[in-house]
Structure 1
């Protein structure tokens, strides 16, 4: 994955509520060499965010970009005090389930409203960040794409539902992959390996497979065929995964549950 930082400066701005995901984004920018001297993380607790200066209150200087990274349920309270201070700024929200219309209502004087749904691997420049805006012009979109490209893949959605789809799969996906790695490691232990070795080989198997597939462009079906000899042990395992009620049905139920919760949070934010 190419990194685009090369010392480029972040537009002057604030990161309001720079928690786990916000901190992962900052770590990715630091890793890419992005100049973050104009970015201030606003944290009431004053908790350190490595790579950026931290303030407990918004600075006096008006921001150009304002990143929202607090808990989604806090958006009404945060906006009531923040909105008058950020007139004319670009609002960039990583708040799950809070739609553009809700953000526009809360920040009526914003230059543009942009939703971003990153996933945790952005910290290593290997993430996925879904992007959507219904009022950002092409120049602003290009500027945002340049900044987010430091963090990995950054597709723009054509409609707002697209960002929900991206976040439902990519945003939640690392947790699902982690569960799969754990399950694979447990079975390695059941076959007699010690816990550390089992975890290491499960993790490397998943990481290596993803890296190989990305670098070759090979489809997943073709990759599985290459591994599985007809009538062999791998094929016996695939027969279980591919059976009715197997892995596709399990993932479908998992993603549907996440999607339902996203829609519930959006309804809560509208209300």
Structure 2
């Protein structure tokens, strides 16, 4: 049931930035655009062949697999529309931060629920894919992994409460990395580098460092040590950076995690 095809289309209920990244990733992997139906009044310039409806009532037959990618705050108001366009035994994959399985089951009784937290790198097939499925259904999990394989690396989480941490690290994390790249570039500018040159150097530095970290068996801590000569330039910089970096990142992820917890409360009350 989790194989996406023209005859078994995946329904996007909402297709903003995250939904669009996933859609682009699937299509880039060679899946027929006609295998996707988008219900979103705001979606624009969708890939040719994708079936698009502004209103749920126009979508026609009920989908057997649906991906819910609307803002969590609006889900209670629009969940009835979703109920009308997904089959009673459908698989529903939610990428909504903070919306618990209990809430999804209450709004969509009888459906198989999977929570997913990807990030925008899904468009490149390089997203971490944090997943939670409450029933331990091995067959369903295998099907979901196959379905999501073009988008990145699936990682199953055993406790739903930890999905808020996954959201903070893997979902919000790219924004934190982009901020760091921007800060590196601006710091280079402050030392006299041309803005374009500094931006290029910052992006290339992070790109190479990440690729090496992924390819290496060594930990990031060990890789940093290998770059650092005692008394050298890197050691001087790390002396400043290490003075507060871990505390700052801890506080950053905690704030993002706590917001995910907060998002669940108005929905479940």
TM-score by length of 1: 0.91
Deviations 1:55-83 (A, max 9, x none): 12332211111111111111112112321
Equivalences, count: 262
Between the aligned partners of 2:143 and 2:184, the Cα distance in structure 1 is 41
Alignment of 1:201-216 (within 5 A): 201-216=201-216
CA RMSD of aligned residues (A): 1.7
TM-score by length of 2: 0.92
Cα 1:98–1:107 change in 2 (3 A) is same
1:148 partner SS: helix
- 1:119, CA displacement in angstroms? 0.8
Contact 2:67-2:93 within 8 A present in 1 as well: yes
> Aligned pair 1:48/2:65, yes or no?
no
- 1:45, CA displacement in angstroms? 3.8
> Aligned pair 1:154/2:151, yes or no?
no
Q: Pick from 3, 9, 16: which aligns with 2:5?
A: 9
> Aligned pair 1:251/2:249, yes or no?
yes
Structure 2 counterpart of 1:18 = 15
Cα 1:46–1:220 change in 2 (3 A) is closer
Gaps of 5+ in 2: none
Structure 2 counterpart of 1:235 = 235
Structure 2 counterpart of 1:94 = 95
Between the aligned partners of 1:92 and 1:36, the Cα distance in structure 2 is 19
Cα 1:40–1:63 change in 2 (3 A) is same
Cα 1:241–1:70 change in 2 (3 A) is same
Deviations 1:1-58 (A, max 9, x none): xxxxxx9737423101111000000111112222342220111245232262211233
Gaps of 5+ in 1: 1-6
2:214 partner SS: helix
Spell out structure 1 runs of 4+ moving beyond 4 A: none
Contact 1:97-1:269 within 8 A present in 2 as well: no
Contact 1:48-1:54 within 8 A present in 2 as well: no
Contact 1:132-1:158 within 8 A present in 2 as well: yes
Contact 1:42-1:54 within 8 A present in 2 as well: yes
Contact 2:62-2:84 within 8 A present in 1 as well: no
1:90 partner SS: strand
